[in-house]
Structure 1
Amino acid sequence: MKSIWRRTFTLLLAGLLLLALSPAPQVEAIPVTGGPVVFAEEGVESVASPLDEFALGVKDGAAGVVRGVYAPGALALRVEQQPETRPMYISAAPDTATQFRYATFTNVIGLLAHNHVSGAQFFNLNFGQEVWIVYGDGAKQGYLVANILRYQALQPASTRSQFLDLDTGEVVSSAQLYDRVYRGEHHLTFQTCIEQGGVATWGRLFVIATPLGELIPALDPGLDVLN
């Protein structure tokens, strides 16, 4: 009986000694023990997308207020709001569009720009182009360009001009054109002038984009990204 216990004790002691002499596993990662975080895969650097970088540059905390518009490879503009008493105001600042206040009354986002400044970039937009509206709190809404309309203004300097559709030849009033581009289901409309023959206001370009999915809320400020 004593020999059995002696043998058992000897085996147990040998096992403990072997375990003590075995090399410890290589562990270099330190567990994250804080709150919820977003982090990159080990060995892969975390890099913000161009859209996210743009959103960080224009956000100012104003929820529900359009502060920027971004279209990959086409444009990246800050958005300025019209003064309440100046519905025809359009900013002349570079890389800036102006939100058309009247269009908000019909749940449409209208973005205006002079063709000699940021409006020139509206011509970069094509059918199927992805466009993103960025709000002041960092929330984002995607759109897809669905229609591009070009008109000649028969009275170029007048806001009440009649307009000739350059694709169909149809002549419409300013009220009819307004209904086409600034009424209906929620959408996004870009507007700038078309220059021709030395006349800067010869025509009008409208690029219409329809919603692409739901609004993407701003990132929870409690989350962080580990670079």
Structure 2
Amino acid sequence: MTGKLRLSQNHLHLLETCPRKFQETYLDGLVSPITWEEEENMAWGSRFHLLMQQGELGLPIQGFMAEDRELQNCFLALVKAAPEVFSPQNNYSSGEFREAEHYRTLGFGDYVLVAIYDLLTATQNEAKIIDWKTNQRLVNREKLANNWQTRLYLYLLVETSDYPPEQVSMTYWFVRLRGDEKPQKITFVYDQQQHEKNYRDLTKLCDRLSDYLHQYQRGEPFPLVAS
């Protein structure tokens, strides 16, 4: 194995929940089949993320919405529910930074932590991560708080910027609607205690991965967790 292994939220989640599946997916290249419904949901989510990225870049988005009425309805509902998210292009307050599909990395021991933020906005006093959730159900807040996406994204932003944890937040917008539903959001405000816990847990997980990799190179598979 050459170079440092890059670890995303998906890597961390799988490593923690089922090390053997981590091995099969990321080391052995085995891909589990997905259902037609899962494939459709992934395709719709990709279209929504591309729509939001195009809009943030000031590119035309009418074509996207003309081809997909559900996409149009969800986008317009989000604009109405979250006007603060949709700042006019090139009319930001002085010193504000905004970028869709913002990519960040951090060397972490033998590994590189990676994240792609759907939208990152930052001023002198605060930075906000925004993530578009395109599944059709609201995720439990506690479950989302413990999810490695939330933990990694917040940790990584603090470690790669000058913001203290208390000036960083992450908001999930659940945008795919059913019936008369409105977009819903869940926001997490970070703090130093959470940051230190994330560091400790990341260190333990990466140390565990190193042990698994050493065993794997000797022909021993990653542990199998009983479901």
Is the shorter-chain TM-score for this pair beyond 0.5, marking a shared fold?
no
Say which one has the larger Rg.
1
Q: TM class, shorter-chain normalised? A: under 0.3
TM-score by structure 1 length?
A: 0.23
TM-score by structure 2 length?
A: 0.23
The structure where strand makes up a greater share of residues is 1
The structure where helix makes up a greater share of residues is 2
